Amino acid sequence: MLDFIDFTGKTVLVTGGTRGVGRGIARAFLDAGAGVAVCGRHEPDPEELPRSKHSTTALFVRADLRDPEQAAAAVDTAAAELGSIDVLVNNAGGSPPRAAAESSPRFVSAVVELNLLAPFWCAQAANAIMQRQSQGGSIVNIGSVSGQRQSPGTAIYGAAKAGLSNLTKSLAVEWAPKVRVNCVVAGLLGTEAAEEHYGGAERIRAVAASVPLGRLGTPADVAAMCLFLASPFAGYVTGADFVLHGGDGRPAFMLAVEGDGK
């Protein structure tokens, strides 16, 4: 991890920070010396909470972030317990695959609420606190390459992530200069849910082989970018998308040509 970045005395809230990428992000900030709170709908067992190499454990705040009042309360609770909110990482999100033609109004609303509206509710509450702080604050949204290209099978998710990228740019202008807002656009990631998502270890290896860097991204990769964007090293960076995809994948026309043996 970025050992030269020190967050001692800083406070961080990571949404969806109890597993997967969010857990990795929370642990990275803990390792860097920050006080960290994580939130989610279901309280994990105490031993499952993110823990640093120094045995510091994250604070858990229970909330359904799709509800504006619960989202604001989660941010306020974290700030009250930690003493401030210097960094918000909007990580909570995701969607099961669903064909667009078969997506019900309830499903569509739930995906948009989780991946676009919940980050806004949290950011809005965090901004209110950060604007009152002499040091301001930093908000990092976790986006997806699905919001920058076709996303068949997860069209609503892709549209919501595209909206999150645009929201990042707009908030960065509205809330400057006290609050910086940036977005990490994540590509294919290997987490505990990857095998189920991609369909087994063999398919994971095939997907990883399609990435120019030869592997899936990790929670540590995303966490490192979050540390950088929230740090003074990115003090002149706001309203930016940082694409983290290992070079993305081979273009479809190349796969078609290679499939013909040419």
Query: So which residues are the catalytic ones?
Result: 157
CA angle 41, 11, 168 (to 5 degrees): 70
The bridge status of strand 179-186 relative to strand 87-90 is unpaired
| Nearest residue to 2 (alpha-carbon basis) of 229, 249, 158, 238 | 229
CB 143 within 8 A of CB 187: no
Q: What are phi and psi of 143, to 5 degrees?
A: -100, -160
Helix (H/G/I), strand (E/B), else coil: 204: helix
CA angle 189, 93, 164 (to 5 degrees): 100
Report the half-sphere exposure of 17 (CA within 13 A, side-chain side). 29
